[in-house]
Amino acid sequence: MDRVELGIVDTRNIIKVLNDVYRYDFSNYALTSLRRGFENVITRASLRDVDALIHRLRNDETFFPEFLSHFLIKSTEMFRDPSLWRVLKNDFLPEQLKKHSSFKIWHPNVIAGHELYSLMIILREAGLTDRTQVFTSGICSECIDQLKEGTFGRKVFEVSAENYIRYQGTSDFAQYAWIEGEMARRDHQLLDNVQFIEQGKMFEGAPRNVNLIIFRNNLIYYNQTLQDRVLEIMHDSLSVNGHLILGVMEAITGAVAKKFSLIHESESIYKKKQ
């Protein structure tokens, strides 16, 4: 395993340059993942060492989009936790749509788009595409270009296809995604009804009166301070009785916990308290 291993001082120095030059504050990210993310950038951008990374960040601002695309974790798969998607399609969404004439869904921090594509597939299979408005946003423009274009890794494709069967989809996964040479490709028309909106560094410009936020496996990369802060933003963005879905091993703790109630324990679905 020939990857650079960063120490605490290295990590702090990178945090500093990102703050100085780009006004991105990574100081409240979970330390181990942050360190590994920086190490990934050094490896994937073929940089020599930490000094080379700092030099590049300080002197070449055009490098920043590439930095983000290497740094951000984009390795989950479509229909991760198949039972969640089944619950959404069969129970949660049909029930909600009985109560609401229009239904706004926000998927913040989109990276690889696996969750976004999964969402659009279940909406189509539930016949709810026309009755829902889906917003997504992210900080990595290169990632968004790539997910719109539709290609993704073959390994992720294989896992996703298995997940689709466990989710018990009503169609054939091959209708949505297929192998193309060394890569896999998704039908990008699935995203036709998705509105890509701007996302500020701290989710400035978050949509209002959102009925459902899908924000799974993002909090794990934050420390408690940043988790609380981001959950407050999500809370503000939700409508009365709106719902928030987190990753299955993420929990709302800390001061903000009293503002949400857990309504589906195994799938981590929370409801905003009034």
Site residues (CB under 8 A) for other proteins? Answer: 1, 30-33, 36, 73, 75-76, 80-82, 159, 162-163, 166, 217, 219-221, 223-224, 227, 247-251, 253, 266
Smallest distance from other proteins to CB 199, Å: 20
Q: Do β-strands 132-136 and 151-152 pair in parallel, antiparallel, or remain unpaired?
A: unpaired
Which residue, 76 or 118, is less far from other proteins as judged by CB? 76
Nearer to other proteins among residue 84 and residue 206 (C-beta)? 84
CB of 224 to other proteins, least distance (A): 6
Judged by CB, which is closer to other proteins: 72, or 210?
72
Q: What is d(CA 228, CA 261) in angstroms, rounded to the nearest whole number?
A: 15
CB of 41 to other proteins, least distance (A): 13
CA torsion sign for 135, 138, 142, 147 is negative
Which CB atom, from 128 or from 220, has the smaller least distance to other proteins?
220
**10 Å Cβ neighbour count for 39?**
19
Give the tokens for residue 200. 């500020």
3-state secondary structure (DSSP) of residue 71: helix
3-state secondary structure of 196: strand
Compute the distance between CA of residue 148 and CA of residue 196 in angstroms, rounded to an integer. 10
Write down the least CB distance from residue 97 to other proteins, Å.
Answer: 27
Torsion of CA 260, 262, 266, 268, to 10 degrees: -10
Cβ count near 235 (within 10 Å):
18
Integer Cα distance of 13 and 54 in angstroms = 8
CB closer to other proteins, 20 vs 255: 255
Q: Least distance (Å) from other proteins to the CB of residue 18?
A: 20
Distance of CA 12 to the CA centre of its chain: 25
The CB-of-107 to other proteins minimum distance in angstroms stands at 16
CA distance 255 to 215: 19
CB nearer other proteins, residue 82 or residue 169: 82
